[in-house]
Amino acid sequence: MYKKDYPKTFPDNFLWGGATAANQVEGAWNIDGKGVTTAEVVQKTTDRKHMSMGDVTTDSIKAAVADTTDTLYPKRRGVDFYHHYQEDIKLFAEMGFKVYRFSMAWARIFPKGDEAEPNEAGLAFYDRVLAELKKYDIQPLVTLSHYEMPINLTLKQNGWASRDTIAAFNHFTETVFKRYQGQVPYWLTFNEINTGTWGFHETGAVDTNLSQHDQLQIRYQALHHQFVASAIATKQLHKIDPKAKIGSMLARMQTYPGSPNPVDVQAAQLEDDKNLFFTDVQARGEYPEYMNRYFADNGIEIQMGADDQAILAKYPVDFISFSYYMTTVTKADAGEQVNGNMATGGRNPYLEESEWGWQIDPVGLRITLNEMWDRYRKPLFVVENGLGAVDKLTADGHVHDDYRIDYLRKHITQMKEAIADGVQLMGYTMWGPIDLISFSTSEMSKRYGFIYVDQDDAGEGSLKRIKKDSFAWYQKVITSNGEDL
Ligand code: BGP
């Protein structure tokens, strides 16, 4: 309906905050009964410097699991949030966070992934975190699976390649939904689910020595199992905690055509569809037609259970979330871009890039918000966005990260524009409010935070928390509800 008056800025209940993941902040990877996860194996066995994710083998997993000397790991996996959560949440509260996105590690609660009874010590940790958030009125947004699963499920049944993993995961989700009923208003199922096409870190399935066809076959099949598990989780949550909402989570990377040549525009559209495919299934409840052709062209056959399509159709997500770091460019003759590594895609001469080649595109965020709102008509949530940089601690103990402020300011400005365009946006949790271990490099020196953590790539340091210049800036942004940027 035409309305003369339209929203010009952030709504009063806009959810400002930050996002982390268990395996990147918690540390304490082997205490209180926690099982080893795929994330620790990835950190330990792959050549992260070159961003290669495809070299995990069953042997390297076994060697990683057997190695208790801990020499190959970064010394602490995370920044010991496990023991510093009170201090850290207090700092989040000082910035005025309305929401904190974090993940619950499945292997803290079910160390082997498929036990009948949960590990009480693991649940007790998340009890403490939730109680602390409540103290400051910070709402939890919990990711159920952020790039990790119990490694036992890989060794036993090749992770998500097996249909049996659905039941194991949904036993975990039911357990936490019941335990935290009334305490967690927002949940996400799989972090950046689309990166499952890159392999192990998301699927927990070893496929290193297979042909590209066989890898794609395993990965899309594993992803199908995740779609079903996500829909079942939605069903469970709506029954157990009817007021709570559950969302999908996509690594959104818009693809622009490399030229106005229609063949390039069409190639970009296909890349974009392949990215949005995951949210299409989770939000619209069915496999989109355009993937039939892609699957047929690539000889991929998805094995579906008799009820799978009905389950997907009946339990779509309540809201749609995504991470947004960059956009990319393609041409008709660019070939397959994505599989096997953290592809940053074709270059865009109009954009600057981070030290890691991630092309910074604030206006692209407005474009993508509009496109996703048009496509799904469900509330959107930007649950990751931020700038990885090598921050320098000055002699007087400060970090002057004006480049980070600049990056965030430009993205928040574009979110505001999108709201004025009519997009329904629930909130914004920038990535890594406190410095944490980088996913793609496994190192500490790629930092995102408002809070500096004294720890180096070798895991050495006092773990002292230090406010960067961006800390006071974000505090001001939240206090003014996005007016004072
Ligand atoms: C996303 C992941 C996060 C996170 C972030 C930044 O893909 O969901 O876990 O780490 O990217 O990436 P990186 O740490 O590689 O800089």
Q: What is the CATH number of the domain that holds 204?
A: 3.20.20.80
Residue 445 CB-density burial (10 A; 0-12 exposed, 13-18 middle, 19+ buried): middle
What's the pLDDT at 235? 98
Residue among 145, 146, 198, 439 whose CB has most ligand 1 atoms within 8 A, to mutate: 439
Q: Is residue 2 part of a domain?
A: no
- Which residues lie with the beta carbon below 6 Å from any ligand 1 atom? 21, 24, 147, 191-192, 251, 323, 384, 388, 431, 438-440, 446
Nearest protein Cα to ligand 1, atom 12:
439
Rounded distance from Cα 385 to ligand 1 centre (Å): 9
Rounded to 5 degrees, φ, ψ at 84 are -110, 10
The string of DSSP codes covering 48-94 is GGGTB-----HHHHHHHHH--S--SS-SSSBS-HHHHHHHHHHHHHH
pLDDT one-digit tens code per residue, 236-270 = 999 999 999 999 999 999 999 999 999 999 999 99
Q: Is residue 3 part of a domain?
A: no
CB 338 within 8 A of CB 197: yes
Residue closest to 256 by CA, chosen among 267, 245, 244: 267
Place of tokens 């004006």: 402
In this prediction, residues 67-96 reach a mean pLDDT of 83
428 pLDDT more than 50: yes
Nearest protein Cα to ligand 1, atom 4:
439
In this prediction, residues 460-468 reach a mean pLDDT of 95
d(CA 325, CA 409): 14
What confidence tier does 344 reach under pLDDT thresholds 50, 70, 90? low
Rounded distance from Cα 1 to ligand 1 centre (Å): 39
Nearest ligand 1 atom, CA 358: 16
Rounded distance from Cα 402 to ligand 1 centre (Å): 21
What confidence tier does 155 reach under pLDDT thresholds 50, 70, 90? very high
Q: Is residue 1 part of a domain?
A: no
Q: Is residue 394 part of a domain?
A: yes
Rounded distance from Cα 403 to ligand 1 centre (Å): 19
Q: In this predicted complex, what is the ipTM?
A: 0.98
User: Whats the size of the chain, residue-wise?
Assistant: 485
Q: Is residue 23 part of a domain?
A: yes
What's the pLDDT at 252? 97
Question: H or E segment at 9?
Answer: none
In this prediction, residues 424-446 reach a mean pLDDT of 94
CB 429 within 8 A of CB 19: yes
CB 434 within 8 A of CB 449: yes
At a CB cut-off of 8 Å and minimum separation 6, what does 81 contact? Answer: 20, 25, 26, 27, 88, 434
Tell me the catalytic residues. 384
The token pair at 106 is 């499945």
Residue closest to 253 by CA, chosen among 359, 135, 405, 118: 359
What's the pLDDT at 143? 99
Residue closest to 282 by CA, chosen among 315, 252, 259, 260: 315
Nearest ligand 1 atom, CA 195: 7
Look up the domain containing 207 and give its range. 15-479
In this prediction, residues 44-54 reach a mean pLDDT of 55
Q: Is residue 5 part of a domain?
A: no
Question: H or E segment at 187?
Answer: strand 186-190
Nearest ligand 1 atom, CA 446: 16
Rounded distance from Cα 355 to ligand 1 centre (Å): 14
Rounded distance from Cα 174 to ligand 1 centre (Å): 27
What's the pLDDT at 30? 86
Count: domains in the chain: 1
Nearest protein Cα to ligand 1, atom 9:
439
Q: Is residue 8 part of a domain?
A: no
Nearest protein Cα to ligand 1, atom 2:
439
Q: Of residues 101 and 56, which shows the higher confidence score?
A: 101
Residue among 431, 443, 445 whose CB has most ligand 1 atoms within 8 A, to mutate: 431
Nearest protein Cα to ligand 1, atom 10:
439
Total Cβ atoms within 10 A of residue 349? 5
Rounded distance from Cα 69 to ligand 1 centre (Å): 27
CA atoms within a 13 Å half-sphere pointing along the CA-CB vector of 252 = 27
Residue among 43, 195, 384 whose CB has most ligand 1 atoms within 8 A, to mutate: 384
Q: Is residue 52 part of a domain?
A: yes
